[in-house]
């Protein structure tokens, strides 16, 4: 029986993925790497340091920096990202998402956040959504990033629920893999080819329908 919903943040509740990409593009440019728009999809769901690593590899510069220098680069990107995010308001919540969260809450479902972002508390505050969530995984306490299942297992445990009692929402292939490895029902938001492996896929949040998702969840034997 469905008792809780678990959400990724970037690309699911709000389109902060565009701000991540812009901040990485600006940083990459400074060190001589031209990052195309299409790179944004590769960055979805990856931790800050994992994102920097794949950018440096793309620019063939992975051996050019010490760990300390890499941390300084990541901090610089984060400063720019925070400046962008501080301008966000509840108008930046993706279509239908606020309705879905409120509908779930009214049904008595528990809500948890499973975001790899250390900026998640700031973003939830900007979107005025922080009071809706019963639990939030602190990514600083995790050993492994997505696609490892740790973050979704932790979110489910924080809610005190079993894997067949939750539905989890993701926009990233790494995130869908993480949900499935945790044994949970995955709703993918985005390209069905990219998100193959999810149990239910919508092209965008505008197509989300909680009653329909619950029907498919039950039909799958949950
Ligand atoms: C994820 C994003 O939610 O958080 C990634 O999809 C990002 O793009 C990651 O790198 C870490 O975010 P932050 O805010 O801690 O740098
Ligand atoms: Mg995401």
Q: 159-188 pLDDT, tens per residue?
A: 999 999 999 999 999 999 999 999 999 999
Give the β-pairing of 200-202 and 185-189.
parallel
30 and 128 co-located in one domain? no
In 96-142, beta strands by DSSP E: 110-113, 135-136
Q: What is the mean pLDDT of the chain?
A: 96
Query: Based on the structure, what is the number of domains in the chain?
Result: 2
**Domain range holding 109?**
4-15+89-219
Can you give the CATH number for the domain in which 76 is found? 1.10.150.240
pLDDT value of position 200: 98
111 and 194 co-located in one domain? yes
pLDDT value of position 41: 87
121 and 71 co-located in one domain? no
Q: For this complex, say whether ipTM is above 0.95.
A: yes
Position in ligand 1 atom list of the atom nearest CA 8: 3
Residues flanking ligand 1, CB < 6 Å? 9-10, 17, 20, 43-48, 51, 78, 115-119
Residue whose C-alpha is closest to residue 118's, from 57, 74, 153:
74
118 and 174 co-located in one domain? yes
2 Cβ neighbours under 8 A, 6+ residues apart: 109, 165, 166, 167, 214, 217, 218, 222
68 and 146 co-located in one domain? no
Residue 197 has pLDDT above 90, yes or no: yes
pLDDT value of position 45: 87
Residue to mutate (ligand 1; options 25, 43, 117; most atoms within 8 A of CB) = 117
The whole-number average pLDDT for the span 111-127 is: 97
Kindly compute the dihedral angle of the four CA atoms of residues 166, 172, 175, 180, in this order, to the nearest 10 degrees: 60
103 and 149 co-located in one domain? yes
93 and 195 co-located in one domain? yes
76 and 104 co-located in one domain? no
Q: Look at the alpha carbons of 213, 18, 78, 144 in this order and tell me if their dihedral is positive or negative.
A: positive
């Amino acid at each position: 029986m469905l008792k809780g919903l678990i959400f990724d943040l970037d690309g699911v509740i709000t389109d902060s993925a565009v701000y991540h990409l812009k901040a990485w593009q600006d940083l990459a440019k400074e060190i001589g790497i031209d990052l195309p728009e299409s790179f944004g999809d590769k960055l979805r769901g990856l931790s800050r340091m994992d994102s920097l690593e794949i950018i440096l590899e793309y620019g063939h510069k992975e051996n050019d920096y010490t760990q300390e220098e890499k941390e300084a680069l990541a901090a610089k990107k984060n400063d720019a990202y925070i400046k962008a995010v501080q301008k966000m308001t509840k108008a930046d919540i993706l279509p239908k998402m606020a309705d879905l969260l409120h509908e779930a809450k009214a049904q008595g479902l528990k809500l948890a956040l499973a975001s790899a972002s250390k900026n998640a508390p700031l973003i939830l505050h900007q979107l005025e959504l922080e009071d809706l969530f019963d639990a939030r995984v602190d990514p600083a306490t995790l050993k492994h990033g997505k696609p490892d299942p740790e973050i979704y297992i932790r979110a489910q445990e924080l809610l005190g629920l079993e894997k067949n009692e939750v539905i989890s929402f993701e926009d990233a292939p790494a995130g869908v893999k993480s949900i499935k490895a945790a044994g949970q029902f995955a709703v993918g938001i985005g390209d069905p080819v990219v998100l193959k492996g999810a149990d239910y896929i919508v092209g965008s949040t505008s197509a989300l329908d909680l009653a329909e998702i619950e029907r498919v969840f039950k039909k799958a034997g949950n």
